Structure 1
Amino acid sequence: MKPITIILTDGYSDWEIAPLAGAGRAFFGADIRFASPRGGAVTSVAGLPISDTIALTPPDDGVVVVCGGSAWEGATAPDISDALRQSLEKGCVVAAICGGTVALANAGLLDQVRHTSNGADYLPGLSKAYRGTSNYVDQPQALRDGQIITAPAPAPASFAFEVLAAAGLPEDAARQIKDMLGQEHQR
């Protein structure tokens, strides 16, 4: 399986990457790496600290994941556009969930692909660079179009499935996470 680099910021939404990072590593041996725009310590919105992350550099291979969080929504959002574009140019799959989709919109990565996020007005309201409204798909699950994966905040299970499958885990194995976490919604 190819490595998965998860980009975090202070205030990252820990539940959005929990199925991917936890189940991905524990059940499937995924090579999960945590990065942040500058490297160092970050703390989730719930107070979960990560003592050390690597400084973000575009990997040569694998999947680059932008975890959501309020840091992407403000005027002082980190600009990781070059790193995301370079990752895509190197052949990586680039994925984002919730607020992380703003980083992809800012990089122009959503302009020509079908994608989803936190609602039709979310990206236009937060990204001046966003030109992908005609490709927006309003759906509650993660969506993959070519080398881009996007998901709204309440879709960590389908997001984990798409990212793990993109990293090379056989789809039937990756589907186990989505199916397992979806059981509580069955009647």
Structure 2
Amino acid sequence: MKPITIVIAEGYSDWEIAPLAGVGRAFYGADIRFASPHGGSVTSVAGLTMADTDRFEPPNDGVVVVCGGPAFEGDNPPDLSERLRQAKAAGCVIAGICGGTVALARAGLLDQVRHTSNGPGYLDQFASAYKGAGHYVDQPMALRDGYIITAAAPMPASFAMEVLAAAGLDRAKAGEIPAMLSGEHQAA
């Protein structure tokens, strides 16, 4: 499988990447790397501190994942636009979940592809340059269109499946993740 670089910002929503990072690495041997906009220590919204992250630099291969969190909705959001465009130009698949989709919208990566996010109007609210509203799909699972993967906050299982499949995991194996994580809901 190709490497997966997960970009986390201060206040990142740790549950959005838990199935991808945990299940991806433990069950499927995925090469998961963590980075942050400026490098250094980053603390999740739940208080989980990730110490000594590398500064996010555009990789030449693999999948770049932008984890959501309130930082992307604030007055001074991290600017990842140029680095995300560079990674896509190098051939990387670019993925965003929840507020991470705002970073993709700000970079212009959602203007010409089908995508989803936290509901109609969400991206317009936080990304003034966003021009992709006509390609927005309101659906309860992650969506991949070419080199772009997007998901709403409560869709980490289908998001993990799409990211791992994009990294090279057999699609049937990747499909085990949503089934595994939905088992308790089916039993109720």
TM-score normalised by length of structure 1: 0.99
Q: For each residue in 1:24-82, what CA deviation from the matched residue of structure 2 results, as whole angstroms up to 9, or x when unmatched?
A: 00011100000001111100000001111111100010000000000001120011100
Q: Does the alignment pair 1:64 with 2:64?
A: yes
User: Which residue identity lines up with residue 69 of structure 1 in the other structure?
Assistant: G
User: Which residue identity lines up with residue 164 of structure 2 in the other structure?
Assistant: L
Q: For each residue in 1:83-103, what CA deviation from the matched residue of structure 2 results, as whole angstroms up to 9, or x when unmatched?
A: 000000000000000000000
Map 1:2-13 → 2, pairs under 5 A: 2-13=2-13
**Could you tell me which residue of structure 2 aligns to residue 117 of structure 1?**
117
Give the total of aligned pairs: 187
**Could you tell me which residue of structure 2 aligns to residue 32 of structure 1?**
32
User: Which residue identity lines up with residue 181 of structure 1 in the other structure?
Assistant: L
Q: For each residue in 1:111-133, what CA deviation from the matched residue of structure 2 results, as whole angstroms up to 9, or x when unmatched?
A: 00000000001000111010000
> Whole-Å Cα distance in 2 between the matches of residues 15 and 67 of structure 1?
9
**Could you tell me which residue of structure 1 aligns to residue 75 of structure 2?**
75
**Could you tell me which residue of structure 1 aligns to residue 47 of structure 2?**
47
Gaps of 5+ in 1: none
Map 1:1-187 → 2, pairs under 5 A: 1-186=1-186
Percent identity between the two aligned chains: 69
> Whole-Å Cα distance in 2 between the matches of residues 65 and 164 of structure 1?
11
> Whole-Å Cα distance in 2 between the matches of residues 132 and 81 of structure 1?
16
Structure 1 position 4, deviation (Å): 0.2
**CA RMSD, aligned part only?**
0.7
User: Which residue identity lines up with residue 183 of structure 1 in the other structure?
Assistant: G
Paired residue secondary structure (1:112): coil
> Whole-Å Cα distance in 2 between the matches of residues 75 and 65 of structure 1?
22
Gaps of 5+ in 2: none
TM-score normalised by length of structure 2: 0.98
Paired residue secondary structure (1:186): helix
Structure 1 position 184, deviation (Å): 2.3
User: Which residue identity lines up with residue 31 of structure 1 in the other structure?
Assistant: D
> Whole-Å Cα distance in 2 between the matches of residues 125 and 72 of structure 1?
11
> Whole-Å Cα distance in 2 between the matches of residues 184 and 82 of structure 1?
41
Paired residue secondary structure (2:175): helix
User: Which residue identity lines up with residue 131 of structure 2 in the other structure?
Assistant: R
